[in-house]
Amino acid sequence: MKGGSAGVADASARPMPAEWFDAQYNNRGRIPEHPAILREWDERSHHARASLACVLDLAYGSDTSERLDVFTPKAAGAPVLVYIHGGYWRALDKRDQSFVAPPFVAAGAMVVTPNYALCPGVTIEHIVLQIVRSLAWVWRHAGEHGGDPSRIVVAGHSAGGHLAAMMLACDWRAVAPDLPADLVKGAVAVSGVFDLEPLRHAPFLSADIGLDAARARKLSPAAMPAPQGRLIAVVGGDESEEFLRQNALIAEAWGAGVVSVCEQVSGRHHMNVLHEFADPASRTHRLTLRLLGL
């Protein structure tokens, strides 16, 4: 990833107690109904895999965690949406959020959902490189499944939003000489994390992700130079002050030339804002389709 220094707030300089960081970032703690939402995601995702044409658990690398699902498009030459699940890099699985695929396949896209290893078994750096490998696989193999490798958009929720932004900022020519510099044409971050410094101070999470100040800065998209391509950044209007700040921060750091949309979705919290992404009637979904060229 390219280095840089723009726009990251120094959370450790603020006189906030550890409990404040937990209150801001522990989203399951903020959403009492989260077990019911997770069950709904599981049911909808099971239905998606059962009802759509798909190829599951294709290997994009040698590790058992390096697998992805491909939801094939209705017609060849389709734009490709790569969706990355969240879970603070330490939880969930690609199969937990297969429910995002049906509306995009119905609109004419191919959808790919990669898995990755989880913290604390691996570092966030390791996860970033796994997602890089998954995108390289998609570019090389999309055509075999009906996708157009010249039309790749990456999206993700929460930690997946962080990873989507990292893919937009990736120096693809440095990854492999056969890859195009603009491999990722655009990205959508739903409640993304772009400044990792505050997460070091949240007791519920810090031990699992194991960041120091230098690594937090290195892994913060808001500290990187503005990339090419376009980013859509949305966040639930009912999310914590810190998630609202995170969303505004990436627009400030990368500028309107890259972050073409920076919005709050009224009445949505950190989990049900993802429903907007998968709802054909929502503005977030329509903006994603536009980024895909559909």
How far is Cα 244 from Cα 263, in angstroms, rounded to an integer?
9
Q: What is the pLDDT of residues 194-215, one digit of tens each?
A: 999 999 999 999 999 999 999 9
Alpha helices, DSSP H only, in the chain? 18-25, 27-30, 34-51, 101-106, 124-141, 159-168, 172-175, 203-209, 213-218, 241-254, 273-277, 283-292
Q: Are 117 and 64 in contact (CB under 8 A)?
A: no
Q: How many helices (H) and strands (E) does the chain have?
A: 12, 8
Predicted TM-score (pTM) of the model is 0.95
CA 279 to chain CA mean position, Å: 17
Q: Do the beta carbons of residue 256 and residue 248 sit within 8 Å? A: no
Span of 11-25, 40-54, 142-156, 249-263 with lowest mean pLDDT: 11-25
pLDDT over 80 at 48, yes or no: yes
- Angle in degrees, CA 134, 136, 142, rounded to 5: 90
The two tokens of residue 56 are 């599951």
Q: What is the pLDDT of residues 205-252, one digit of tens each?
A: 999 999 999 999 999 999 999 999 999 999 999 999 999 999 999 999
Nearest to 280 by CA among 47, 95, 101, 73: 101
Q: Which residue has the higher pLDDT, 171 or 13?
A: 171
Average pLDDT, the chain: 95
User: How many whole angstroms separate alpha carbon 265 and alpha carbon 263?
Assistant: 6
Q: Is 129 helix (H, G, I), strand (E, B) or coil?
A: helix
**Domains in the chain, please, with CATH?**
11-292 (3.40.50.1820)
Sheet of 67-71, strand order: 54-59, 67-71, 110-114, 78-84, 147-157, 186-190, 230-236, 259-265
Please work out, in degrees rounded to the nearest 5, the angle formed at the alpha carbon of residue 8 by the alpha carbons of 6 and 9. Answer: 140
